[in-house]
Structures are given as structure tokens and as C-alpha cells.
Amino acid sequence: MKKDNHTKYAILGLLTTDCHSGYGIKQMIDQSLNHFWKISYGQIYPMLKQLVTDELATVRTTTQDGKPDKKEYVITAKGEAALQEWLQTPIDAIPVERNAVLLKLFFSRHQYADTTIRQLEDYQQKLEERYSTYKAIEAMIASLMHNKQDSPYWLFTLDYGKRLTKAAIDWCSDTIDQINNGRASDG
Amino acid sequence: MKKDNHTKYAILGLLTTDCHSGYGIKQMIDQSLNHFWKISYGQIYPMLKQLVTDELATVRTTTQDGKPDKKEYVITAKGEAALQEWLQTPIDAIPVERNAVLLKLFFSRHQYADTTIRQLEDYQQKLEERYSTYKAIEAMIASLMHNKQDSPYWLFTLDYGKRLTKAAIDWCSDTIDQINNGRASDG
DNA sequence: TACGTCATGTAATCGGTTACATGATTGC
DNA sequence: GCAATCATGTAACCGATTACATGACGTA
């Protein structure tokens, strides 16, 4: 039994939205799925070719006004069936997410408390920027697509991103405090 | 400028604890770092060889009572310097963590609400198992190593794992509720 | 003698990124 | 003429996993 290739279904799924070209898929993922997915052209174009080979999609070249030609990919009935089958399959296990900040923290007894705190503050700031981005995307989806069938699901994924980012930000604050208290009692 | 190889420093860092062999490093990561890191023998053994080549560690073969010989790796002064330099370097950006559950949810308008809920319940259950594991590891660290210098930092990383897992569990509950409410009002 | 644990290692493969190459179109 | 955006593609590389191979030692 071959392992799931989630990226294949990410692309297949996006063909069911308003994205029908490699360039459009890339943009969509970077803009609206970037809190839980990313992709490079090096994956997209060969995979689109593969989808056509597997008869999960069809292509045709379309001309546009004021823009270069593009290839329009349309999902087939077979493609929709494959997508639905994948949607129904539960993930087999939650993967381990490597976290370099935690890795550094794990070894931080080799470091001055100041340096460790600086790392955590830097991480916290990056998390806060990320949180702002999520709020902006959320507002955009909520306002521009309140009529679309997809939007409630898209907002659920954003809510996930926001909540976990918030939890991480709070952890940063509390951990910095604890390190400061520990340092005070060591003095 | 070459990109950081975090795995190299994960191994180097573990050489500063009680782990001094490839087998021991693998066990340690699987047991105490599995909430934010993982590694395979296919990385460990070649990397240990590399560390010796780069003079960041030394090896010697040691015999043991009732167990096969093993290779004991010891970090050098140069290795400790390299580790500290890495510890002081802030991460360049928070990487995108691919999440297949969110990817499926994103496309869930193609699915019956029942099926979507089943996916979320399955995810929630897996998260709860993970949470239990974290609590067990935390108890183990707290009881077995209250004297060790490393333990406060190790507990911080576990706290992070617990908090984010908890946030994800709560999100599952709330999202299931919202889907149920939406379905009721559609009827 | 067979199984479980401890222990070390490699080759093939895979998913994904990076760097590069090409070219149309619009607006400054 | 040049930069920005739109658009498609590939080859080299990289980090990591998987599958496989080997063998020591203790115990049932």
C-alpha cells in the first residue's frame, strides 16, 4: 500500500475552487493556506502533469486579455472521486513538528539566561507577526466571501492557526517570567 | 552562507547529556524530545562520523558487561563552541507546519458534515493520547531529575507541547459544535 | 535454538526546495 | 528601454525515511 501524497490532494482540492492554473494554485496557497500548507513550483507543475496522466484532471491552453496565455486545469469526475476518498480517510498519525526554538531551549543550560530570554522574545515577536497576518486573512475571507460555500471551513482553519499561535505567545511570556524568577533566586 | 542543519546540533547537544552513542541518542529523542524532534538512524550514524571528521567530537569503542560493544562519542571544546554559537543564533523564520487535517477541513464542503465531524473526532482523540503521553513524560522528568541542571528547560518544552495540544483539543470541540449548529440551521 | 534488546551501519528512495531558464504583457 | 507581474517549466540538490543487513549478548 502506497503512502498518501497529501500535496497531490492539495492541488486537486484547489482545482475545485477558482484556481485552475499552476500560478493560481501557488498564489492561493501562499495567501490563504499558508498557516498550514506550502508548496513550490517545483512540485506544482510536475504534479499537474501527473494529474492529467492519471486522468484526474484535464488541461487546455487559454488566452487572456492583457496577460500571457495560461494552462487551465479542470478536475474530472475521477478526480473528484479521488478527492472525496482522500477526504474520508483519517490521517494515520499526527506527525512530529520539528521546532528549532524548543531544541535550543532544551539545551539552554549551556547558555546565559539573558541569551535564552532573547531567543524567546525573538520567537514571541515572530509569533505576534504571524498572528496579525492570520487576523488580516480572516477579515479578508469574512468580508469578501460571506456568500461562498467554502468560507466557514476556511475560517475554521484560520481559527486553529490563531488559537495555537496565541497559546505559543502566552507560553513565551510565562516561560520568560519563569526564567527571570529562577535567575533572581540563583543570585 | 550555508543553511543551518539543526539535526547536527540536536546530536551535538545530546552529547552534552548522558547520551554518548548513536543508539542512546535515538532512544533519548524518541523518549524525551519526541514532542518537537525526531530522527532516524540513517541520519544519526553518518552525522556522528561527520562530527568526528569536523573535530566537534571524538570516538572510542568501549566494552560493556552483558551488552555488545558500543562507540562512545565525546564532544570536544570546538564542539561546545559550535553548539553555543548555534544556541545564540535566532531562528530565521517560523516554518510552515503542514497539517493534513486542516487541509481536509479546508475542502470539506465536498463532504457530508458527518464525515467532517468524524475526522475531527479522530484528530481530537489522537491529540488526547498525545496529551497523556506528555503528562507522563513530564512526571518522569520531574521525579527522576529534580536535581539535574537540564530539567527546568526540559519541562518548559513539555509545557509548550501540552499547551498547544490543549488548544488544539479545544478547537476540535468548538469546531465540531459549530458544524453541528450549522447543520441544524440548514435543515 | 529462538527471541528480545542492544548496537552499528548503508543504499535506495522520496518529498520538497533552490536556482535557474524562458517568455508574454503592461505601465512607467 | 526597463521593471513588475503573470506564467511555465526543469535539474541539481538536500534532508530525511525506509528497508535492509549484520552481529553481540542474555534469557527462556
Cβ neighbours, 10 Å, residue A24 = 18
pLDDT at A185: 67
Strand, helix or coil at B38?
A: coil
Picking from B4, B34, B121, B156 by the largest number of A CB atoms within 10 A of its own CB, the best residue to mutate is B156
| CA–CA distance, A99 with B84 (Å, rounded to integer) | 18
Measure the CA–CA gap between A73 and B125, rounded to whole angstroms: 37
Option in B36, B103, B119 nearest A99 (CB) = B36
- Residue of B38, B105, B118 with shortest CB distance to A157: B105
Q: What angle do CA A113, A98, A8 make, to 5 degrees?
A: 155
pLDDT at A85 over 60: yes
Residues 6+ apart with CB under 8 A from A109: B149, B150, B153
Q: Mean pLDDT, to the nearest integer, of B20-47?
A: 97
Q: Among the listed ranges A27-31, A178-182, B45-49, B139-143, which one has the minimum average pLDDT value?
A: B139-143
What single-letter amino acid sits at B60? Answer: R
At residue B187 the predicted structure's pLDDT band, cuts being 50, 70 and 90, is very low
Q: In chain B, which ranges are continuous DSSP H helix? A: 6-14, 22-32, 41-53, 77-88, 100-106, 113-144, 151-186
Q: Give the pLDDT band of residue B15 (cuts 50, 70, 90).
A: very high
Distance CA B162, CA B167 (A): 9
User: Residues B102, B96: contact at Cβ < 8 Å?
Assistant: no
Which nucleotide lies nearest residue A40, CA to C1'?
C17
Query: Could you check: is the Cβ of residue A83 within 7 Å of any atom of nucleic acid strand D?
Result: no
What gap in Å lies between CA A48 and CA A39, rounded to an integer?
13
CA B129, B143, A97, A151 dihedral sign is positive
Q: Which of B114, B118, B153 to mutate to test the interface with A (most CBs of A within 10 A)?
A: B153
Task: Answer for A43: CB within 7 Å of strand C.
Answer: yes
